[in-house]
Structures are given as structure tokens and as C-alpha cells.
Structure 1
Amino acid sequence: MYRSSDRLVAYYHQRMSSSICQHLDSFKHKYGLNSYQIIYKQFISVTTHESRKRKARNSICFTCRLPVSRLHSCLYCVFFGCFTGHHIHEHSKTQNHNLAMDLSYGHIYCFTCEDYMHDKDFETIAKKQKHRADKVCGARCVQYYMWEPTSQELQVLKDNPQRKRISDNSHIGLRGLINLGNTCFMNCIVQALTHTPLLRDYFLADRHICQFEDDPSMCLVCEMSRLFQEVALNCLPLVFYSGKSSPHTPYKLLHLVWTHARHLAGYEQQDAHEFFIATLDVLHRHCRGTNGPTNNSPIHCNCIIDQIFTGSLQSDVVCQSCKGVSSVEDPIWDFSLDLGPSLHMRQQRATSSTQAVCDESEPKSLIDCLERFTRPEHLGSSAKIKCSSCQSYQESTKQLSLKKLPVVASFHLKRFEHSSRFHKKISSFISFPQYLDMTPFMASKIGCTGSGTGSTDGSNVNTYINGVPHNDNKYCLFAVVNHSGTIETGHYTAFIRQHRDQWFKCDDHLIMRASVQEVLDSEGYLLFYHKQILEYE
């Protein structure tokens, strides 16, 4: 398992002190440890059949009365509230009870510090209760044990108090890529993938199992793994996380993509979005998920690519006669968003003699694009469908919404327009935020409001952290791919986020510091957002 030095340092400091949260220290001094021990024993480390029945019966949110995941218990009073629906947040605010306990793992959340807190005394109680449950239940009881550094690792930290933090060593994880002849499109996608947090953690933990037993050199996932690993099989330091700052030549990666996606072979300029989708497809086919070898359908796959990038899109077709709804759910890897006039607008302009007809405003921001993407569309008399209820062909409307959000949401702004008459690039500025809330575009939200604009009655409960909306559908920008030039000739560059708040511009072999404002002011072609809160299943 990959262990960062920052994690060891943080854990070391926690072991040396009782708590890193003054609110937790204040609670222990005033109320003691008894409430935590009782809740842990009765609702987490249960050992008998009766206690499990009692837990199942009582583990519901006191507000919505649902047995939801991420249930938390107030440490001050008898109240269970769901974290996802923010009912535990509301209780904390109204009762001024700032500490709650996660009923899945026993972690303590401080609403004042807005984070989960670790404490030596509480962790000792949890460990004793788990060992007690192990003795009683034996093999029938599966306990989750938090990782702890060994005594030798703690001793190394004690002996070496002066350490240089990784965040101060900016070239760790940053490598320029040599352009092999019009391969800037590939270099940008490689930079985005290597800075995708969960994908990085997967490869650094050496989780990949190669399916090419006869010839591992043909596996694209193995090659991606070599981009991440500090030491290769020949014991030579390699690539992104070796600490080297000299540019890397990705000739092997290019060869494998050409081999497995032949339509991209050749030295002519390719589209970065097409390369991104083709690379995900090859990586998906070369991965092995926890459910065995993957197949051609991403919706049935549990490989790392689909765990990170796959979401699902719901398509609702509504009969205009009986209002019957037919829904279909499809997996998606990215969102391709139109920037020009919609198809409906073009059809109306083509059939009308006046230019003023259907004066639909073109999108100015990513939010505008998503609202238009999820807006109901009248299919018209030329595209009637056979309604199963009416048993006849009827006019209908179609609306797209998001059924399941991916961990990484990638947006493709369709700047290249191809038609039988002309090819052009749309260079209009489309603003995009650093933080993005996808709640208004979810199927459940659209189903309640009937539009893609979300609720306007305040039912969409958000908490705010430093002025930024914070909920479970919240995303943070971590990479942007830009295209400069015309549709016939141009150049791709990328902005990537390193660590928490450092941005860099990647122009093939050149790596330059950038500000977040430079990123947000860029034209934007591919936008990559990472989910801020990850739900466990």
C-alpha cells in the first residue's frame, strides 16, 4: 500500500497529542468518553443477534425516517441524522451540538472544523471494542481496522523532525512530455490522467493485475502504471513520481495507442477529445475489475476506469397525448455539450422566412450548456414514437438528466463544427467555475421541478464553506485542456492542478506556473472535475 509521508507526519502528531481538535478536547473534558463508548458498542461493534436486530430497527434518520447510508449520531444527545440529506447538519446548527459520530466506522465529525477528526482516546476505545467483537464473533464478524504506522516508522519520524514537505517540492509529480510530431493532443490527455487523484492512487498502490500474461508489453494499463511508479521492474527510477524534472518521451505509450486504436495511428494532428475517449476504451478493455475480466459494456464493469469515469444518463420520453413516460438509462464517460444554436433552433430557422424566429440565446457558461443539455426537447411531428399506452404514434418530448454521477466529470465543449457545407471552430468564451454543483441536473431533482434548473424553493439544502456551496454532488476543477488556432491547424495545451491549490500550464515539454485566474480565463475545450465527497457503497 502506498503511504505518503504527509500521512505519516499527520498521524505522528496525532499520536503525540491527545487530539488535534480543540472542540473534541473540550467535549472530553466536559462529558467524558462514555457516550462514544455506548454508541460504538451498540451500533458499530455489535456481537449478538439481538443487538444486530436492535441496530437494524433503530438505525434511521430521525428527520426523514429513512435507513440511509452515512448516518451520524449526535454525541451530545439522542439524535440520528443523515449526512447526505444534511439533517445532522441542521441538528448541529439548531442545537449547537458540533460533534457527531459516523455509525459505519466510528469516525467523529466536527461541524465547526468541517472535517473528520482523529483522537487517541476515542481510537483506543474503538480498537478495544473491535478486538472484543472479534473474540465473540470469530470469523463471522468482519471488522474494519484503520491503518497505523509501525513503531519503526514512528521512530524514524521522531529521529528526523526536519522534513521537507512534498508540497514544497513542486517538481514531484510534474514532468514535461516531448512532442513526437503533432502529439500535443496526447500529451495533454496524459497530463490530465496522471493528475486524476484516484487514478494516481490506484497506480501508486500497485493495484493493477495484467491480463496480457504472454506479452505484458502490449498492455496499455501496464504502461500507464510505469508512468506513475517510482521504480520500474529494471530498478531504474521512472517518470512522473520519481522526482525527476527532465521531460519524458512517451513513445511506448503512443505506440500502444496506435496498436489498439488504429484510427488514431499516424503523425497527423488528432482531436484531444477523441484521443481521450479512445484511451479510456483501451484502458477499460485492458483492466480487470473486482468482478473478473471486463466486457464490452461499461455498465457491468467494476474496473478502475469505470469506477472513476462512468456515470449514467437517464433519457425520459414523454407522450404528449397520455403523458406516459418511457425511461432509458445509459452509461457515459463524458458530457459533450453544444455551443452553437440547438438543432431545434436550426430547424425553425430553416423553415421560417423571418430571422427573428426562435431567438434562443447561445450558452455563455458551462452552467448554460448543462441547462440546455437537460432541457426538455419537443421531437416534432416528423419524429413521432409509438406509445405503449396509446398504441399509436404520438408526438413526444425528450429530456436528459443525470441518474448517477461519476467520480470524475469530464466535459467536452464542442468547439469544432463539421457539416456538409463547412468546417469551423467556435472560439466564443464559455466561462466555467472552479467549483461545480451538479445537483440541479440530477434525475431526481429534475423529476421534482420539471426542468433542468433545479429547485427554486430552497429545498436544495447546501452548507457553505468559505463562501463555497458544499454538498455531496459538488465537484472541483483539476484539469483543463485548451486548443489554440484554427480547425485546420492548432496546438493543445493543458492546465493541471498540483496538490491542493497550485496550478501549472503544460505545453509539451514546458511546465510553467499558472494562477487559478489564468485557468478560469482560458478558452476551455475539455474540462475535468473531481467529486469532492466520495460515497461508499
Structure 2
Amino acid sequence: PVNEHYFGLVNFGNTCYCNSVLQALYFCRPFREKVLAYKVQPRKKESLLTCLSDLFNSIATQKKKVGVIPPKKFISRLRKENELFDNYMQQDAHEFLNYLLNTIADLLQEEKKQEKQNGKLQNGSIESEEGDKTDLTWVHEIFQGTLTNETRCLNCEAVSSKDEDFLDLSVDVEQNTSITHCLRGFSNTETLCSEYKYYCEQCRSKQEAQKRMRVKKLPMILALHLKRFKYMDQLHRYTKLSYRVVFPLELRLFNTSGDATNPDRMYDLVAVVVHCGSGPNRGHYITIVKSHGFWLLFDDDIVEVQQNPCLC
């Protein structure tokens, strides 16, 4: 396709966890557009976001359509900023995604705060302190959804709910299952009884109750994390659940709350980060992405077109 580039990323010693997430994010169009737009802003001091912006820009402006790029500046900045990634060991791709999105959001919020203090905010509007707390960045606009935790007292039927924002959803996996099934399990009703009774404000005492989690606000882009690493008490370590989980190419969430905004939103699958190997601290990460109707496999510096990818 015109204007699309497919570039592998050089591995700098077990950095496949980082390369695979960066490829998934690059083919996540709203995110890519915001990162590229950040590049044209007045020069800022070096941060993880400026390095990411330079990397994405470098891919997007290559003369060739296919090739390999070393994300050296980004990796060295990452290692400088967080000691968790400052080694040559295999890291967790989900931890890296979380760290990257939260770091970018913090940087953007800090910049907004600085602009306000410097009186650069347009329209000359003065915002309240409360407004500052809820400053949403484009990271939130793209990835943030809201969960609501509903608890119903089985004595008086009163329902209390507590909202909680998320940038990705972590779901448990079971044998021979699908993403849809995993998401249904995420909202299973749990009964609180015996020593886990719930203190009901209406009854003013501990009562049996039913609790469940539902999605109140669906994000623009849904990032799902399959919890494949489970701690086994008898082994005193994490082990990998290598169950087959089927991915639909289109997904609609059914576990939405009654007052959910756009509950019928349909999601199209654009990228899957896959861990190959038996444990959390070993193995290898690759990414399968959809671009202009084609599926491609990114394995560090290797890029291959997949005719019939098995998405499970």
C-alpha cells in the first residue's frame, strides 16, 4: 500500500518484549498519529516520548517500504529511566506496555501543567483545581475505559457501585476457550459470604452479597492482556498456561453495565503480541499485525506476510 512501511526492529539483547509491543502500537493508527504529531511540536528535552516519536517518524519517512531499523535511542532511554528494563534479561511485554503508556500520559500531563503555569493555555480560560485532576491526555482518549464494581446486598437488595479506570483489561485464561469466553468469566458473579461478608451501609451490618465487574465505558482501542503466567504454590514459581485461546477477528463486549456509553461498539483485531516459550523469564515475543487487509508477522528484524495466520 502507498505510504505504509514495514520495518523490523533490531534486538539489543532480549529486547523482543519491547520490539513486539512497539510494532503493535505502531499499527494502532490513532496512537501512531498522535506520536507522529508530537514530533512536529517545538523541540522538547529528551524523554521516552521524544525517542518514540523519533523512532515512529524514522519508520514512516523511510524511502524503502521494507527494511530494518535499530531502536537504539529508545532502548537506551528506556534503560536509563527504569532499572527494571536496564539489563539483558527477558522482560514482560505487558509490564512494558503498562509502563510506556503511563509514562507517556504522565509526561503529557506534566507538559499541560507547565503550559498552564506559563499562561500559554489558549482561550485565556481559568480552570478550577478540580479540572486539573481530571486532565485527560490522548493516551486516555485512546486506551482508557471504565469498569464498575457492583455489589448487591442479598438482605436489602441495595446496590453500591465503584468505578475504576483501566488502560488495558487483564483476563484469566482456561483450557479450550476463546477471548469472548474469557471476557464473560471476567464478569462472573461472585458471592461474598462467611468471613468475606460485605458491610452494607443500609443494613448497617455485615451481610451476604453478590459482586460483579462490568464495563461502564468502552475504550476507543481495547488492549487485552491474557494472564498466561500463573503462580503455582507447589512449585514456588510462575508457570505458563499454554492453553489454546481462539481470537475472533471482530469482538463485541456483552458484559457492559446498564448505563454504559456505546455498549454496541465493535472492535476489529489489529495486533496480537505472542509469547513463545515455557516461562515468564525465558522465551521470545513476536507480533502479528493486520495492515490494509494483510496479516504480517514481526519477529524482531524479520517481517513476513502471513497467508492464513492461526490466531490462537
Aligned to 2:286: 493
Change (3 A) 1:475 1:299: farther
AA in 2 matched with 1:432: F
Structure 1 residues 312-365: Cα deviation after superposition (integer angstroms, max 9, x where no partner): 11100111111111101111011111114xxxxxxxxxxxxxxxxxxxxx5611
Aligned to 2:70: 249
What is the rounded CA distance, in whole Å, between the counterparts of 1:502 and 1:289 in structure 2?
39
Aligned to 1:415: 228
- SS class of match (1:436): strand
Change (3 A) 1:390 1:334: same
Gaps of 5+ in 1: 1-166, 230-237, 341-361, 447-459, 461-470, 524-537
Aligned pairs for 1:191-206 (under 5 A) are: 191-206=23-38
Q: CA deviation at 1:288?
A: 4.3
Greater strand content: 2
Q: Does 1:271 align with 2:84?
A: no
Aligned with 1:504 (options 273, 296, 303):
296
Change (3 A) 1:208 1:383: farther
Q: CA deviation at 1:415?
A: 0.8
What is the rounded CA distance, in whole Å, between the counterparts of 1:364 and 1:413 in structure 2?
12
Q: CA deviation at 1:209?
A: 5.1
AA in 1 matched with 2:17: F
Q: CA deviation at 1:241?
A: 3.6
Change (3 A) 1:472 1:227: farther
What is the rounded CA distance, in whole Å, between the counterparts of 2:230 and 2:61 in structure 1?
38
Aligned pairs for 1:242-391 (under 5 A) are: 242-244=62-64, 245-288=66-109, 292=113, 300-340=134-174, 364-391=177-204
What is the rounded CA distance, in whole Å, between the counterparts of 2:40 and 2:213 in structure 1?
35
Q: CA deviation at 1:255?
A: 1.9
Aligned to 2:217: 404
What is the rounded CA distance, in whole Å, between the counterparts of 2:19 and 2:111 in structure 1?
30
What is the rounded CA distance, in whole Å, between the counterparts of 2:50 and 2:180 in structure 1?
37
Q: CA deviation at 1:228?
A: 2.5
Report if aligned partners of 2:147, 2:165 keep a CA contact under 8 Å in 1. Answer: yes
What is the rounded CA distance, in whole Å, between the counterparts of 1:336 and 1:179 in structure 2?
27
Aligned with 1:178 (options 2, 7, 10):
10
Aligned pairs for 1:432-511 (under 5 A) are: 432-438=247-253, 440-444=254-258, 472-487=264-279, 488-499=281-292, 501-511=293-303
Report if aligned partners of 1:379, 1:396 keep a CA contact under 8 Å in 2. Answer: yes
Report if aligned partners of 1:378, 1:397 keep a CA contact under 8 Å in 2. Answer: yes
- SS class of match (2:269): strand
Gaps of 5+ in 2: 116-128
Q: CA deviation at 1:224?
A: 1.4
Q: CA deviation at 1:168?
A: 5.3
- SS class of match (1:480): strand
Aligned to 1:101: none
Report if aligned partners of 1:173, 1:240 keep a CA contact under 8 Å in 2. Answer: yes
What is the rounded CA distance, in whole Å, between the counterparts of 1:275 and 1:205 in structure 2?
23
The CA RMSD measured in Å over matched residues stands at 2.8
- SS class of match (1:408): coil
Bigger drift between 406-415 and 481-490 goes to 481-490
What is the rounded CA distance, in whole Å, between the counterparts of 2:148 and 2:273 in structure 1?
27
What is the rounded CA distance, in whole Å, between the counterparts of 2:275 and 2:70 in structure 1?
22
Report if aligned partners of 1:260, 1:282 keep a CA contact under 8 Å in 2. Answer: no
The percentage of counterpart residues that share the same residue type is 30
What is the rounded CA distance, in whole Å, between the counterparts of 1:408 and 1:290 in structure 2?
24
What is the rounded CA distance, in whole Å, between the counterparts of 1:186 and 1:293 in structure 2?
30
Change (3 A) 1:376 1:472: closer
TM-score, reference length from structure 2: 0.85
Report if aligned partners of 1:208, 1:287 keep a CA contact under 8 Å in 2. Answer: no
What is the rounded CA distance, in whole Å, between the counterparts of 1:278 and 1:252 in structure 2?
17
What is the rounded CA distance, in whole Å, between the counterparts of 2:294 and 2:63 in structure 1?
17
What is the rounded CA distance, in whole Å, between the counterparts of 1:299 and 1:414 in structure 2?
31
AA in 2 matched with 1:225: S
Q: CA deviation at 1:489?
A: 2.4
AA in 1 matched with 2:301: H
Higher RCO, 1 or 2 (CA under 8 Å, sep at least 6)? Answer: 2
What is the rounded CA distance, in whole Å, between the counterparts of 1:267 and 1:299 in structure 2?
37
Report if aligned partners of 1:179, 1:187 keep a CA contact under 8 Å in 2. Answer: yes
Report if aligned partners of 1:291, 1:302 keep a CA contact under 8 Å in 2. Answer: no
What is the rounded CA distance, in whole Å, between the counterparts of 2:264 and 2:38 in structure 1?
29
Change (3 A) 1:268 1:494: same
Structure 1 residues 378-415: Cα deviation after superposition (integer angstroms, max 9, x where no partner): 12312122110000011211110111111110111111
Change (3 A) 1:263 1:380: farther
Report if aligned partners of 1:257, 1:279 keep a CA contact under 8 Å in 2. Answer: no
Aligned to 2:208: 395
Aligned with 1:239 (options 59, 65, 81):
59
AA in 2 matched with 1:492: Y
What is the rounded CA distance, in whole Å, between the counterparts of 2:142 and 2:84 in structure 1?
25
What is the rounded CA distance, in whole Å, between the counterparts of 2:22 and 2:150 in structure 1?
36
Report if aligned partners of 1:289, 1:303 keep a CA contact under 8 Å in 2. Answer: no
AA in 1 matched with 2:272: V
Q: CA deviation at 1:299?
A: 8.1
AA in 2 matched with 1:313: L
